[in-house]
Amino acid sequence: MQVILTVTMNAALDVTYELDSVNWKSVNRVRTVRNCAGGKGINVARLLKALGRRVMVSGLAGGATGAALRAELSKDGIADALVPIAGESRRTLAIVTTDEATLLNEPGPTVSAREWRHFYDHFTTLVEDADAVVLSGSLPPGVPLDAYAVLGKAARRLGAPVVLDTSGRALTEGLIAHPVVVKPNKEELVSATGFEETLAATAALRRSGAENVVASLGDQGLLADTTEGCWRAVPPRRLVGNATGAGDGVVAALVAGLVDESPWPRRLVEATALSAASVIEPKAGSADLDVYRQFREEVTLESCSR
Ligand SMILES: Nc1ncnc2c1ncn2[C@@H]1O[C@H](COP(=O)(O)OP(=O)(O)OP(=O)(O)O)[C@@H](O)[C@H]1O
Ligand SMILES: [Mg+2]
């Protein structure tokens, strides 16, 4: 079976505290504590695993938090080739009550130039066994802003197609490596190109190096601007849930479609269904597979004119 390699340069241990309510000025009793390995590439890998795909997770992990997140990956049966660093991996803390959620995200460790070079060497060996590579999420301090361009070029040279999902300079620099698929959301599109109009923005990203662009537009679904045509995919209804990490569902389905070489319309239906199914699930990186199967039959797909 084909292997999909996902890279998470800023991996995290996602800690969730569940309580009935919080009194911010007093002592609170936490009802349940849940730990889970997080970061976009890891979430993509978890979704791919749920679809029965073979995955390999890489990126950076350090300290006791790094060890804890690796232990969580192993519990989930996900093969990890995370590279050790001296700094302590970050934690994200979600404080969830019956009616609200508060997120506290640690900044993450600073990565040394030596650690980055070591990661690069490690990455090139991993890519040799990979059929596709997902580069997603933010870059921690110390990792060069053109990291995704450097990794993307190496992957291209070694014959592995790249899916890129990031924002800001990491995105604009990453385009230099000509990723096969780029998956910005609305905000990332506008800030990378200056164009408010989605098709004008996707065209600009393609001129800057993206081979195909799949823009995710929240509950409006997807707009794909590809070498084979342009389509809109719309979910059958708006779902209420946790939309954080819905983009990871899009990326997981797109990379699966890429290795299968399935036609674009099929990939887009899959991506819309899987991302909607991940909105339903409270935890990022997991999806309600019944909703996924049902939505695959109900997503509307239409061609758009450029
Ligand atoms: N409320 C919703 N109901 C149904 N589908 C949704 C909803 N919100 C998002 N989706 C699906 O998930 C996809 C990705 O969502 P969105 O554009 O918000 O991604 P994102 O901003 O990259 O998310 P993140 O970076 O947090 O993973 C959408 O294109 C759509 O198909
Ligand atoms: Mg996103």
CB 11 within 8 A of CB 105: no
Position 34 confidence tier, pLDDT thresholds 50, 70, 90: very high
Whole-model pTM: value is 0.96
Torsion of CA 109, 114, 120, 121, to 10 degrees: -140
Q: Judge whether residue 10 has pLDDT over 90.
A: yes
Record the tokens describing residue 53, joined without a space: 């795909």
Ligand 1 atom, smallest distance to 239 CA = 3
Name all residues whose Cβ lies below 6 A of ligand 1: 185, 216-219, 221-222, 235, 238-239, 243-248, 250, 272, 275-276, 279
Which atom belonging to ligand 1 lies closest to the Cα atom of 248? 27
Over residues 77-114, the pLDDT tens digits come to 999 999 999 999 999 999 999 888 899 999 889 999 99
User: What is the model's pLDDT at position 284?
Assistant: 83
